[in-house]
């Protein structure tokens, strides 16, 4: 019996009882398990072990068969975003048209009129129209209202003229634009009768449907290699007075009449509820790649032995407390993120359904929470991959470990769909708003998502004189409220001293806003963790998950308790007790770690790792991969060797 098998026997809970909690239901858990098993049997969806020896062009072309095979597996239900979970878990890299189906197609459904949907939607799903989401420009990304691309209405011809007035206005970074797209959903300033009417969305053909060559007035191409996303054709797009029919402006909420009148109708906030769908994908699906990282790192840390103990036997690396300190808090954080992501996904769906009926009561709440979780979760996934890589020593540095690809392909999520600093500031703005409402008792705060603000004074009065685990939730609540109070008071002080509010926001309290938002998300994650534990029906599962939740909370308190110390909520003695509790939780979770990662039920093919394999034989897998999977070992290097031998060194 090898070390990995021995470790599995030490797990004290029923691993199968955790899996449904991780996927939201037994049915979804079984679907993902079966999907990953199907993928193992389909050659076209496999990513070659030699992939990272290929040049980028070959890498890109290799994804064509994989994309088609995945679409077949999904039964071509290409606009059902939840189905993408299995493909993202299984695929080593990004695939064709992910942004298109995640952003362009929903935008047409939500922003388009019935006539426009009838004209384009079927062709979109069949990829006759293959679009890209052309919003970001060279000089502006998150600041959408400062986009410079123009769409000027020509009343004489009943057309819009799409134009790039400066190099700063060149569309830059849209996925699928570089090679694949033949249309673009272009965000441009609507200009009618020399007056700007804000940024609107336009469907613009950019390549000939038969030849795939750029249309007149279009300059388009790929922006080049990036740190990750090697098979994603992020592109550039420049317009020179390109004309499109008036029909091509998505017109459900704003339209231009034939005689040049601009008419707004309905509530444009509906459109934003649709754009939340892509952020939902980021916070509910991509964190599961961190489960891949941790499965690899924890299995390897058990199978890897280094240095002898006092009995003269080599220790598994995971026996060392330093390795536990690297990996187990990440595992606890991952669980908090998975459970929170499921709840936020439900909130996004509920909000979207209510908005369709004209009910906007959840819109601000949903926006705030999805902004904060997007920022927090995407930071975690890339950091988790990097720490897992570091925990695997030299092998973690190699692509055969599976870890570098996870890091590379998740880094962009920190920036795309809302740069994380901006996302945190959006949440912080809402937190300050409801803090002041609660302080003035002017409005009852939503109990489900921000109920702690209804207990503002009791939280401000709370003091922890001697830490016990029962006080964790109160301490996290205090961390939130005191950090927001500090930020609010600091802002008011600067304003009373003569600074205008915008200058205070931009230049005086940025880091405080960031901390306030982050503290709230960490609290919300712990609360979601506890609520999910209540759904478990196995006593041992509840015990282990509570230990894991409290490990997460202890790590948060140790890393970010400055405001609690500064405000006198907690004393030095309690900090010492939290540190001791943290070490105790590491020891409790260590024997459960293998069960907690294997509850995700990822098969070896989906891990794409020689060191994280389920049979606990990393060295054999790694050696045979070097022999069989590295094409460079079959390359004749004799010519270059002979050439180098002719060098005459100067002595």
Which residues, given as ranges, of the chain have pLDDT below 50?
none
DSSP states of 427-463 as a string?
HHHHHHHHHHHHHTT-SPPPHHHHGGGGGHHHHHH--
Q: Mapping DSSP to helix (H, G, I), strand (E, B) and coil, where does residue 545 land?
A: helix
Q: Give pLDDT, residue 499.
A: 93
Q: Give pLDDT, residue 500.
A: 93
Q: Give pLDDT, residue 25.
A: 92
Cβ 252 vs Cβ 214: under 8 Å = no
Please tell me the pTM assigned to this model: 0.92
List pLDDT tens digits, range 540-581: 999 999 999 999 999 999 998 889 999 999 999 999 999 999
CA distances to 201, 267, 605 from 250, rounded to whole Å, are 6, 14, 43
At 637, list the tokens: 């290097």
DSSP states of 43-72 as a string?
GGGPPPTTGGGS-HHHHHHHHHHHHHHHHH
User: Quick one: what percent of the chain has pLDDT higher than 90?
Assistant: 68
For residues 257 and 262, what is the distance between their CA atoms, to the nearest angstrom? 7
Q: Which among 410, 616, 425, 572 is positioned nearest to 510, based on CA atoms?
A: 425
Beta bridge partners of 189: 150, 199
Q: Give pLDDT, residue 570.
A: 94
For residues 233 and 281, what is the distance between their CA atoms, to the nearest angstrom? 20
At 349, list the tokens: 């769906």
Q: Helices then strands (H, E): number in the chain?
A: 27, 13
Q: Which among 368, 327, 329 is positioned nearest to 450, based on CA atoms?
A: 368
Q: Which among 482, 551, 546, 492 is positioned nearest to 519, based on CA atoms?
A: 482
For residues 345 and 334, what is the distance between their CA atoms, to the nearest angstrom? 16
At 277, list the tokens: 């769908």
Q: What is the phi/psi pair of residue 44, to 5°?
A: -65, -25
Query: Within 10 Å of residue 440's Cβ, how many Cβ atoms?
Result: 8
Cβ 316 vs Cβ 269: under 8 Å = no
DSSP states of 84-125 as a string?
HHHHHHH-SS--TTHHIIIIIHHHHHHHS-HHHHHHHHHHHH
At 338, list the tokens: 């998975």
Q: Which residues contact 120 (CB under 8 A, 6 or more apart)?
A: 108, 112, 129, 203
Cβ 576 vs Cβ 366: under 8 Å = no
Q: Give pLDDT, residue 363.
A: 92
Q: What is the phi/psi pair of residue 208, to 5°?
A: -65, 135
Query: Within 10 Å of residue 102's Cβ, how many Cβ atoms?
Result: 23
The strand order across the sheet containing 218-222 reads: 171-172, 235-239, 218-222
Q: Which residues contact 602 (CB under 8 A, 6 or more apart)?
A: 36, 89, 291, 292, 295
């Amino acid at each position: 019996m090898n070390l990995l098998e021995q470790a599995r026997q030490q797990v004290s809970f029923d691993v199968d009882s955790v899996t449904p909690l991780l996927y939201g239901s037994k049915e979804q858990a079984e679907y993902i398990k079966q999907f990953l098993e199907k993928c193992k049997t389909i050659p076209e969806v496999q990513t070659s072990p030699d992939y990272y020896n290929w040049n980028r062009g070959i890498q890109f072309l290799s994804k064509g068969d994989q994309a088609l095979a995945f679409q077949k597996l999904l039964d071509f239900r290409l606009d059902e975003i939840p189905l993408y979970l299995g493909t993202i878990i299984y695929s080593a890299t990004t695939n064709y048209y992910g942004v298109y189906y995640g952003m362009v197609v929903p935008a047409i459904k939500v922003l388009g009129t019935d006539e426009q949907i009838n004209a384009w939607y079927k062709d979109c799903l069949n990829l006759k129209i293959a679009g890209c989401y052309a919003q970001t420009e060279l000089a502006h990304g998150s600041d959408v209202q400062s986009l410079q691309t123009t769409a000027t209405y020509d009343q004489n011809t009943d057309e819009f003229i799409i134009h790039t007035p400066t190099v700063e206005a060149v569309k830059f970074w849209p996925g699928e634009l570089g090679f694949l797209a033949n249309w673009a959903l272009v965000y441009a300033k609507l200009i009618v009768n020399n007056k700007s009417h804000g940024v609107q969305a336009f469907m613009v053909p950019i390549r000939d449907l038969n030849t795939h060559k750029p249309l007149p007035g279009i300059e388009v191409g790929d922006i080049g290699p990036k740190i990750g996303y090697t098979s994603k054709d992020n592109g550039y797009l420049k317009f020179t007075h390109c004309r499109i029919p008036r029909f091509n402006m998505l017109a459900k909420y704003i339209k231009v009449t034939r005689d040049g009148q601009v008419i707004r109708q309905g509530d444009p906030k509906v459109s934003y509820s649709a754009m939340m769908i892509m952020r939902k994908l980021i916070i509910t699906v991509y964190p599961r790649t961190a489960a891949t990282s941790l499965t690899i790192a924890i299995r390897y840390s058990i199978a890897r032995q280094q240095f002898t103990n006092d009995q003269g036997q080599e220790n598994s690396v995971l026996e060392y407390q330093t390795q536990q300190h690297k990996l187990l808090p990440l595992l606890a954080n991952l669980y908090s993120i998975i459970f929170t992501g499921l709840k936020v996904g439900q909130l996004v769906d509920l909000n979207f359904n209510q908005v369709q009926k004209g009910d906007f009561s959840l819109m601000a709440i949903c926006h705030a929470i999805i902004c904060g979780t997007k920022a927090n979760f995407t930071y975690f996934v890339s950091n988790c991959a990097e720490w897992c890589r570091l925990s695997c020593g030299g092998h973690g540095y190699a692509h055969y470990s599976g870890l570098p690809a996870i890091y590379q392909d998740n880094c962009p999520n920190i920036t795309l769909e809302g740069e994380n600093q901006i996302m945190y500031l959006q949440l912080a703005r809402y937190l300050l708003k409801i803090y002041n409402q609660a302080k003035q008792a002017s409005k009852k705060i939503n109990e489900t998502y921000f109920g702690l603000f209804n207990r503002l004074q009791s939280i401000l009065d709370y003091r922890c004189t001697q830490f016990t685990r029962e006080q964790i939730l109160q301490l996290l609540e205090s961390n939130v409220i005191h950090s927001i109070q500090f930020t609010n008071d600091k802002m008011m002080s600067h304003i009373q001293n003569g600074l205008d509010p915008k200058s205070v926001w931009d230049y005086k309290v940025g880091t405080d806003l960031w901390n306030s938002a982050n503290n709230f998300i960490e609290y919300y994650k712990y609360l979601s963790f506890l609520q999910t534990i209540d759904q478990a029906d196995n006593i041992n599962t509840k015990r282990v998950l509570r230990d894991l939740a409290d490990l997460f909370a202890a790590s948060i308190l140790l890393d970010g308790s400055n405001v609690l110390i500064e405000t006198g909520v907690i004393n030095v003695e309690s900090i010492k007790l939290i540190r001791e509790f943290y070490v105790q939780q590491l020891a409790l979770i260590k024997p459960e770690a293998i069960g907690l990662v294997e509850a995700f039920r990822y098969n070896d093919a989906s891990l794409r790792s020689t060191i994280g394999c389920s049979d606990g034989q990393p060295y054999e897998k790694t050696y045979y991969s070097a022999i069989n999977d590295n094409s460079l070992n079959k390359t004749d290097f004799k010519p270059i060797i002979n050439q180098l031998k002719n060098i005459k060194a100067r002595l």
